Amino acid sequence: MIEEKMLVLLRQGKISKWFSGIGQEAISVGVTMALQNDEYILPMHRNLGVFTTRKIPLERLFSQWQGKASGFTKGRDRSFHFGTQVYKIVGMISHLGPQLGVADGIALSHILRNEAKLTAVFSGEGGTSEGDFHEALNVASVWSLPILFCIENNGYGLSTPTDEQYKCKHIADRGIGYGMESHIIEGNNVLEVYSEVNKIAKSVRKNPRPVLIEFKTFRRRGHEEASGTKYVPEDLMNFWETKDPISNFEAFLVRQDILSTSKIQILKTEISNEIQNGLDLAFAEDTIVADLETELKDVYKSFDDQEIKPNQSLKELRFVDAISEGLKQSMVQHDDLVIMGQDIAEYGGVFKITDGFVEQFGKARVRNTPICESAIVEVAMGLSIAGIKSVVELQFADFVSSGFNPIVNYLAKSHYRWGQEANIVLRMPCGAGVGAGPFHSQTNEAWFTKTPGLKVVYPAFPLDAKGLLATAIEDPNPVLFFEHKALYRSVKQDVPTDYYTIPFGKAALLNEGNDVTIVSYGAAVHWALETLDNHPNISADLIDLRSLQPLDMDCILNSVKKTNRVIILQEDSIFGGIASDISAQIMEQAFEYLDAPVQRVGSLNTPIPFANSLEQQYLAKRNFETVLKTLLEY
């Protein structure tokens, strides 16, 4: 009845879009009834029955679809693109696949906490063509996660029929390849859905494991209403109309003398009144008033970023050892913190940063992963939803591209969309200068400084690396923590021995002078220091940014107003890099203080070559000194 009302409102222009689940309602209702109320469900946009079975007040659902404040996303998203911790529902994003890996993370939390619970996640047969499907099922199988992968095979992915989506006879057949139990269930019979899923769920709670369930059903409306159904043969539509889950269940209840015609009418009247009351409340609610401060504030979750001061005890550490020690002390500080990544357990990671961690913290918290960056980022998001912090090592920053979608579309947007923090640190070993070639040498921070909702940190010294990593793990927002590989074993420093933090967004002034401001970060800071050592006559402020998002523009502007000249040095290629944004802000906010044009120095606009002579030519270090001298002579 809600669906039918939405179709009327759509024709009247009172709602903007509707994804109908008519024809497949039995799956949503049956699965949800088989789960306990404190077990998470991750539905799709055609699973209205999940929300009604969990008894979400209709006025809140209608307000969500109207973009009103009483919804779940403050008007920032529509349809079922939302989550709610109160009802243990985590809605989808339009990219479909990522929620499968997120469900893995929630299921992992049950294992870590020794809970007899499971997680259920929905996908359509079209979504099973995405790589995220393979990655999520593989991880769930390898880790024996208590999860139900509920695939609604409704015949079409928008207009593409199943015979153009996959070649196997049944999606359930894929379970064999994952070593996973699988079932095919008649998706239009609510009693069969409930009884079969309930039996499977009870078994999974006792014996944790993933189960792939294919529900055979049909979508009798368009993908969304504007799409229509002209591509569906009429005889096929007529066949599935005879299998309608609601009318058939109603007829069954009448035959069993559980319902009567009069009772049905009473129920329909009650439901109709409930729907209308909910709509009246939603329509009567004021339109959201745009508030700039609120919008900006909700991009990140606020937290008490109080600096933890170190003690006076120091020891000399290499950059790589400072990161290892900081990570180890955070594992002690947060006793449920989980580290995940390729080869990080017994092997200790390719850079040996987690060497010995398994012996100290155990394999449950130090987890080797398959080669599946997308799924592991999603698992981290699921852990965060369940209230567990995690650190993910991207073996090389270059490989983050394989997990790009969940980072920029799930982690970055979750708090803004529905108030759910992504309490995740992504460690990013990066940078050139070590002869690693095009696929292991990128410094790709600009991919992420562009994305609202992410924080980006890039230390240049061991002391900063240890303190900033602790802050990154304390911070409930997603942090990309860049670690330059060329610094790992080449830079040493006295570092406090105990646990401490360094606040984000505060640059370090490494050198003071009056003639020029040099702004840099990462390995490039050391190039600047070397240049100043070779030219003691140059009087320069040298600013090490340390964090790029948030960025300490006040420090930069104050220095520029003093020196009146500025050069920004980055290892990244120049076009589209962070130096461009810093330069633009200086021009906008301190133009009248400048005695010369802002200079940017970056590496060549080429991929990063392997041969030493080519790599040295590529790097921005090559011409920094020349540009600096030219700026001083302007």
Beta bridge partner(s), residue 488:
none
Q: Which residue has the higher pLDDT, 601 or 234?
A: 601
Q: How far is CA 181 from the centre of its chain?
A: 28
Residues sharing a CB contact under 8 Å with residue 188, sequence separation 6 or more, in sequence order: 23, 24, 26, 216, 217, 218, 243, 244, 245, 248
Contact predicate 393/427, CB 8 Å? yes
b/e burial code for range 83-110 (CB count within 10 A of at least 16 → b): bbeebbbbbbbeebbbbbbbbbbbbbbb
Average pLDDT over residues 462-483: 98
Residue 143 identity (one-letter amino acid): W
Does residue 142 have a pLDDT over 80?
Answer: yes
Dihedral angle, C-alpha 535, 540, 544, 548, nearest 10 °: -120
> 506-549 pLDDT, tens per residue?
999 999 999 999 999 999 999 999 999 999 999 999 999 999 99
List own/partner pairs for 283-287 with CB under 8 A and 24 or more apart: 283/14, 283/62, 283/66, 285/63, 285/66, 285/68, 285/69, 285/70, 286/68, 286/69, 287/67, 287/68
Residue 18 — pLDDT band, cuts 50, 70, 90? Answer: confident
Q: 223, 440, 484, 526: which is the annotated catalytic residue?
A: 440
Does residue 218 have a pLDDT over 90?
Answer: no
Contact predicate 9/15, CB 8 Å? yes
d(CA 136, CA 148): 12
> 158-186 pLDDT, tens per residue?
788 888 888 899 999 999 999 999 999 99
Percent of the chain with pLDDT over 90: 88
Residues sharing a CB contact under 8 Å with residue 529, sequence separation 6 or more, in sequence order: 510, 511, 542
Q: Residue 431 has what pLDDT?
A: 96
Q: Residue 408 has what pLDDT?
A: 97
d(CA 528, CA 628): 10
Does residue 272 have a pLDDT over 80?
Answer: yes
Closest Cα to residue 30, out of 191, 213, 268? Answer: 191
Q: Residue 230 has what pLDDT?
A: 84
Average pLDDT over residues 90-118: 95
End-to-end CA distance of the chain: 75
Q: Residue 13 has what pLDDT?
A: 87
Quote the pTM value. 0.95
Q: Is 526 a catalytic residue?
A: no
Residue 550 — pLDDT band, cuts 50, 70, 90? Answer: very high
The DSSP secondary-structure symbol of 396 reads S
What the block records as the tokens of 626 is 């020349």
Does residue 561 have a pLDDT over 90?
Answer: yes
Contact predicate 420/414, CB 8 Å? yes
Does residue 157 have a pLDDT over 80?
Answer: no
Residue 10 phi/psi, 5-degree rounding, is -65, -45
Give the 3-state secondary structure percentages of the chain, helix then strand then coil, rounded to 5: 45, 15, 40
d(CA 19, CA 47): 9
Average pLDDT over residues 277-295: 95
Residues sharing a CB contact under 8 Å with residue 349, sequence separation 6 or more, in sequence order: 341, 343, 355, 393, 395
